Structure 1
Amino acid sequence: MAIRYPNGKSYVGGEKEQKQKKLPADAYSGRGMTLEQDLDETNLYYLSRHKAVIHKKPTPVQIVKVDYPKRSAAVIREAYFKQASTTDYNGVYNGRYLDFEAKETKNKTSFPLKNIHDHQIEHMRNVRAQKGICFVLIRFFVSKEVFLLDASHIIAYYDQQNTRKSIKKTDIERLGHLVHTGFHPRIDYLETVERIYFQSSIKGEKLDGR
């Protein structure tokens, strides 16, 4: 079956998986894991311990060609990955709705704003308007650091794209919060969420999702 991305390029799963297997053991967080894999395992850890129910939203697929070799079965011959209309993850924690995007950059000193899209910013605005907790997890590939940056900061920088093309890492360190990484869970972002949205304050003022 041919699966294509929105830009028309083919998706070749086997080749991608082979390349991932060839990565050195310390390529991702010291364990050869992608950011998505780390978060998937983290969310399973949270779910198994009844801490939160958080899932990755599936990428929508548009089917364009189907064969029917027999009445009881249909075979998809061609499909396209559609561009997701929201962020990567959502769920419920401690009675509050959580919604967040996860991004990784190989840039050592900044996070390119081109990694965030218009529809994601619009979605973040809508979540905040409903008082949901919304943020972006940013992992710097080289240093293996993960930061939680509230959506309000991402939106503010995105609105300045005429003059800014990226967010400096020093600004992310100043405005965001370093997330603890380990083995179980791999990326303990809920500890950071609890600390900054429920208990203590960010720069002297607790965030409430508005």
Structure 2
Amino acid sequence: MTIHYPNGQHPMQSYHVNHDLPTPHQSIYAKRGMSLEDEINHSNQYYLANHIAVIHKKPTPIQLVKVDYPKRSAAVIREAYFRRPSTTDYNGIYKGHYIDFDAKETRNRRSFPLKNFHPHQINHMRECVNQGGICFAFIKFTELDLVYLLPATVLFHYWDQQVQGGRKSIRLTDIQQAGFQIEYRLNPRLPYLEAVDQIIAAKHKGVYHGQ
């Protein structure tokens, strides 16, 4: 079967929780060079295996192009295309809160280009925030090996400024100030729920603004 991937991307690999998560005997640097998606997937599997949270990557929609029917009871897909997802990369539930986020990488060292997001993704996160969901963006500066969790409302601020003629990127220094740096560990690889805990605490104190 021929499958065409958007922008040269490939489908997410599957992992076995017991086999693929790092063990305490592995170096914390053993999996350097992994994509942000892989790091998040490993972390989510750890959270799931330990009954901490249920967060999954959303499946990419597929458009079928050619299907053969060698038998009445069976169909064989000969050609298909992965379409661009209509929302964000991940969603799930944690401590009774709906979680929704996207993951982006950049090779830039000083700023994150806003063109990496699409208007429909921003609109989707706005709708989720309006319903009380916790939304954010994972941003990885690959050349610096730095990962940040940026609350959605911060992203909205810079997105709206861009639309009004402002900067078309977010400076790294601004992300460092407004976001949460997620430092690598063994298990989970990216302990990002600690940052989510801070967001939930702020929400309960009444200072939460959709972050």
TM range (shorter): 0.7 to 0.9
Give how far 1:129 is off.
0.4
Give how far 1:181 is off.
1.4
Q: Which has the higher contact order (CA 8 A, sep 6+)?
A: 2
CA distance in 2 between counterparts of 1:147 and 1:73 reads 46
Task: Say whether the 8 Å CA contact 1:198–1:206 is kept in structure 2.
Answer: no
Match of 1:18 in 2: none
CA distance in 1 between counterparts of 2:153 and 2:183 reads 22
Task: Say whether the 8 Å CA contact 1:197–1:206 is kept in structure 2.
Answer: no
2:199 is the counterpart of 1:197: yes
Secondary structure class of the residue paired with 1:146: strand
CA distance in 2 between counterparts of 1:93 and 1:81 reads 29
Match of 1:169 in 2: 172
Q: Which runs of 5+ in 1 are unaligned?
A: 14-27
2:172 is the counterpart of 1:182: no
Change beyond 3 A, Cα 1:166–1:61: same
Task: Say whether the 8 Å CA contact 2:153–2:209 is kept in structure 1.
Answer: no
Match of 1:105 in 2: 106
CA deviation map 1:54-78 (0-9, x unaligned): 0000100011210112233211111
CA distance in 2 between counterparts of 1:130 and 1:12 reads 32
Change beyond 3 A, Cα 1:142–1:205: farther
Task: Say whether the 8 Å CA contact 2:147–2:182 is kept in structure 1.
Answer: yes
Task: Say whether the 8 Å CA contact 1:66–1:77 is kept in structure 2.
Answer: yes
Q: Report the residue type matching 1:109 in the other structure.
A: R
Match of 2:20 in 1: none
Task: Say whether the 8 Å CA contact 2:100–2:135 is kept in structure 1.
Answer: yes
Change beyond 3 A, Cα 1:108–1:129: same
CA deviation map 1:33-57 (0-9, x unaligned): 2111111110010011111000000
Q: TM-score scaled by structure 2?
A: 0.83
Give how far 1:148 is off.
0.8
Change beyond 3 A, Cα 1:42–1:174: same
Match of 1:151 in 2: 152
Give how far 1:10 is off.
7.2
Match of 2:25 in 1: none
Task: Say whether the 8 Å CA contact 1:127–1:133 is kept in structure 2.
Answer: yes
Give how far 1:2 is off.
2.2
Once the two structures are superposed, the pairs formed by residues 8-27 of structure 1 within 5 Å of their partners are: none
CA distance in 1 between counterparts of 2:101 and 2:61 reads 18
Q: Which runs of 5+ in 2 are unaligned?
A: 12-28
Secondary structure class of the residue paired with 1:174: helix
Change beyond 3 A, Cα 1:206–1:188: farther
Percent identity between matched residues is 54
CA distance in 2 between counterparts of 1:170 and 1:151 reads 17
Give how far 1:81 is off.
1.1
Count of aligned pairs: 192
CA distance in 1 between counterparts of 2:52 and 2:81 reads 35
CA distance in 2 between counterparts of 1:188 and 1:116 reads 24
Bigger drift between 159-168 and 83-92 goes to 159-168
Task: Say whether the 8 Å CA contact 2:202–2:208 is kept in structure 1.
Answer: no
Supply the RMSD in Å over aligned alpha carbons.
Answer: 2.4
